[in-house]
Amino acid sequence: MGRYLLQRLGQCLLLLALVSMIGFAILHLAPGGPLSQFALSSQMSQEDLDRITRQLGLDRPLPAQYLDWLWRMLRGDWGLSFRDGAPVSAVIGSHLRATFELMAVSTVIAIGLGCWIGILGATRRYSLFDTLATIGAMVALSIPTFWFGLIAIYLFSVQLGWLPAGNRQTIGDGSPLDLLHHLIAPALVLALVETAIWARFMRSAMLEVIGQDYIRTARAKGLPERQVLRGHATRNALLPMITLAGLQFPTLLGGALVTETVFTWPGMGRLFLDSIEYRDYPVVMGILMFSAVMVLLGSLLADMLYAVADPRIRMG
């Protein structure tokens, strides 16, 4: 296990280095730049633009800019935002809670509902419920997340008035009930696609386990069907879901970006898009690296949990 962890950590560090180099190059080689915001002002002279370029360090060669950014990043200095001069770590930290709230609630909904649908679909294979669940999953996976968000806003906010159309809380009201009221719609929209994925994977895993010899043996011994499904089939079918939980983290982050934009949720996804529009390179790189670290840690943690849960796994 120790050797395996060292290998994975080495792979993670290499991937982080590649992500940082590619992301840094794409941002700085893209058309426009942080000075495009200042160039729109008629009061800005060329001398002013040159001075700002020197202050931001954009007049140096790209490799020198990258090495300087990397050295400061390794020391814990994420830089300052081009927009307001605030530390990047503070800017990202102020949006983390909103994103984690949205992702946590949607993940709980997706895992609980998706596993239930998958198990029921596998035990009632080719039934009406299984057919409807399959069709629903295909629809959820085929239609973009933002479309579901717009439909949810139109139905439950505009037409019925049950839920707020956006934001994280009502101005002047920060009560838990108000936060929950604002969280319902974006969490359900974000969980929709994840539920479909969990349901399909759980159904496949359950069908594979049900066909194993030890399940037939348990039934032949006269065990009640409920005990066979709960004590033997479901427990073993959940093992591959541990790996799926780690692999789904990138999809969850991407869905959160779209969902936060649609519902004006003040999380990291919304901050990422605003920073790209403003050409705020330090904030964009900070979010990119933070997301990459979280994705790699999620994958590594999933592998470790799988090894602990299944004693048959031996990692040299």
The DSSP secondary structure of 241-270, one letter per residue, reads: HHHHHHHTHHHHHHHHHHHHHHTT--SHHH
Task: Give yes or no for residue 30 having a pLDDT over 80.
Answer: no
Q: What is the pTM of this model?
A: 0.79
Q: Which domains does the chain have, with CATH numbers?
A: 1-75 (no CATH), 92-309 (1.10.3720.10)
Nearest to 271 by CA among 84, 15, 104, 129: 84
For tokens 């933070």, name the residue: 290
pLDDT digits (tens, 9 = 90+) for 227-257: 778 777 887 787 777 777 777 777 777 778 8
Average pLDDT, the chain: 82
The DSSP secondary structure of 74-121, one letter per residue, reads: HTT---B-TTT--BHHHHHHHHHHHHHHHHHHHHHHHHHHHHHHHHHH
Task: Give yes or no for residue 224 having a pLDDT over 90.
Answer: no
* pLDDT confidence of residue 306: 64
Task: Give yes or no for residue 316 having a pLDDT over 70.
Answer: no
Q: CA–CA separation, 262 vs 259, rounded Å?
A: 5
pLDDT digits (tens, 9 = 90+) for 50-75: 787 787 777 788 888 888 888 888 88
